[in-house]
A and B are shown apart, each in its own frame.
Chain A
Amino acid sequence: METKKNKQPKPLLEVKDLKTYFKTDAGVVKAVDGISFTLSEGETLGIVGESGSGKSVTNLSIMRLIQSPPGKIVGGEILFEGKDILTLSEKDLREIRGNEISMIFQDPMTSLNPFLRISTQMVETILLHQKISKKEALQKSIDMLKLVGIPAAEERIRSYPHQFSGGMRQRVMIAMALSCEAKILIADEPTTALDVTIQAQILELIQELAKKLDTAVILITHDLGVVAGLCDTVCVMYAGKIVEKANTDELYARPSHPYTDGLIKSVPRLDKAKDGKLFSIEGQPPNVIDLPECCPFHPRCHKKMDICTYKYPPTITVGPGHEVSCWLYADDKEISTHE
């Protein structure tokens, strides 16, 4: 993890002020509302948040997979190696999707086609993106399955998805996602549907393969434990916005946003003796329809100030690479100009 800092990483993917809105009968849902982050080569970036915080929409936006209508990317830029994905033609986009950026989904049970053999599905993916013969593609698929640790890959590749267990299906998904030597792997809650012992296997596999193939990874999860073990940098999302961004050690050592702090404290921990009650963040996550221009966390925040109720806080740097959007860290001058 430390090695990457020495060799001046190049930014591979830059997301700038991305906004994805959904028009519904009840109003506009600002699922992603002006977020920015950078992913460097070989980096593992974690995006943490609760359901409805916009973490999956962020990643669907990167792949331009937002269904329209009702959804629409209304603003911002997504630069992949300098090219703006949002302005590419559908044909150019296909070159990137699956080839340069590929994705694994949460549910390994539904993301494979139950009617087709694993071999058919894998060969199809490879042939779509690479100019090689069917035979070579099959050989490549077998090699990929071996790489992700499926025993007797030559025979198992002829199986149908239902003959595989959940963990094995997720391995197949990873093999498919990596078969085109993608530069970025987006893993959307890859282990949520799996048991702990299988989760440990899959996470180790992703980590190992990312290192071996030098793939940058965006890991979306709600599990703070998974992030701690795997990611270099973490973005914490709340109601469509990134509220805090820092490298992993810094974030856990000095969580600055009251939400991040509360989130870390509210998880029961195995390694600590239990002392009475758990910390808990009161209240419910906000309804993101027509959110007013305030800090969306203020109704649940125990450190809220007057200004939080009518103005969204600026992004403030509190340490090297550590950014937080909270009025607590703004200087008085800035607050008073808004009052």
Chain B
Amino acid sequence: MSDKKIKGPLLQVKDLKQHFPIEAGFILKKQVGAVRAVDGISFDVKEGETLGIVGESGCGKSTTVRSIAQLYTPTSGSVVFNGLDLIKAKGKELLDARKNIQLIFQDPYASLDPRMTVRTIISEPLEIYKKRGLLEIDMSKGDIENRVEELMERVGLNRAFKNRYPHEFSGGQRQRIGIARALALNPKIILADEPVSALDVSIQSQILNLLHDLQEELGLTYLFIAHDLAVIEYISTRVAVMYLGKIMELSRSSDLYKNPLHPYTKALLSAAPIPDPVIERKRQRIILTGDVPSPNVERVGCYFYDRCPYRMEKCKTNIPQMKRIDEHHEVACWLY
């Protein structure tokens, strides 16, 4: 959140593509097409910052995170973390790098194993890395126990609860367990995939504050995904707006709200409700017509062409490239 601590890029994503094949046929399967979930995106995440990715469902934000964590094998492109290309890395090398990349998931109900106690959940990453001898310092059983208690305390859970099961906790508390698990290995970067969207408003602000505090204390870097613009604007240093597998605009979060450039960003911002009736009544909404088109077809023009209120002849047949407007602001649109 504060600009002072930000250093060089920790994670560099270049022209990342993640296509999922669509197959037809029963025994002799052949590929008849592809879902272009992520279709060539590039960005850097600097150390200590929070990069927010915002977009509607199906725009490829979750796929981006999973491709970065190598949970999918990307179709093409490169993901360089700390000088190592994760796509080419194998075995121990990848495992070692992954120690520094941890995930927090959206659904606090589905992302915790109901048959494990809180202690087992939080210590599992430590146990796995211990077994393979990849921990920086070897930890004894007692060390791990202490670490679990320390982590629970850190995320605001009572350490007396460590023998309880996930169903005994509320949604917000479960999300805290998920955060503790992600912190267990002292990661450098946390990929948070919609960590607050399943939570109630009053709990949402607790978790956002917790993530903010953890970043300040532990010097974490976040790649933060959400569909809620206000949440993204609050937590992020910079924001990337995604649509149909492409980044449309990338800017400092304060600039994005004050001066959105891409027509899609403008529509998205104007559609987000503001909890103030006086402002709500005065606002001019840009209502986009239609729905998000299918990501199965290869596109030759701007990805936003079908729904864009400012479309031009040029947009139909030319894909706009990211263009730098000023030091902190890039946009992919022919208007600029």
Contacts and interface: CB of A to CB of B under 8 A. Distances in A.
A38 B254 CA distance: 42
Interface stretch (B24-32, B128-136, B269-277): B269-277
Contacts of B292: 165, 195
Contact of B267 (A51, A197, A228, A282): A197
A201 B209 CA distance: 32
B201 A195 contact: no
B233 A222 contact: no
A273 B254 contact: yes
Interface string B46-57: 000000000011
A266 B205 contact: yes
Contacts of B229: 196, 270
Interface string A13-47: 00000000000000000000000000000000000
A271 B275 CA distance: 10
A274 interface: yes
B205 A165 contact: no
Interface string B181-222: 000000000000000000011111110110010000000000
Size category of the binding interface on chain A: 35 or more
A281 B274 contact: no
A199 B291 contact: no
A285 B172 CA distance: 10
Contacts, number: 131
Contacts of B212: 277
A191 to B, nearest CB: 9
A198 interface: yes
Contacts of A222: 200-201
A149 to B, nearest CB: 9
A268 B52 CA distance: 15
Contact of B206 (A197, A270, A282): A282
Nearest to B289: A201
A225 B273 contact: yes
Interface in A239-294: 248-249, 252-253, 262-264, 266-271, 273-274, 277-282, 284-285
Most interface-central of A196, A263, A277 (chain B CB within 10 A):
A196
A229 B269 contact: no
Nearest to B210: A280
Contacts of A224: 201, 275
B275 A279 contact: no
Interface of A: 1, 50-51, 165, 167-168, 195-201, 204, 222-229, 248-249, 252-253, 262-264, 266-271, 273-274, 277-282, 284-285, 300
5 contacts: A200-B271, A249-B277, A268-B231, A268-B234, A270-B233
Given A228-B274, A268-B230, A273-B254, 13 more contacts: A165-B292, A196-B271, A196-B272, A200-B270, A200-B271, A201-B288, A204-B287, A224-B275, A229-B274, A252-B277, A268-B231, A284-B203, A285-B202
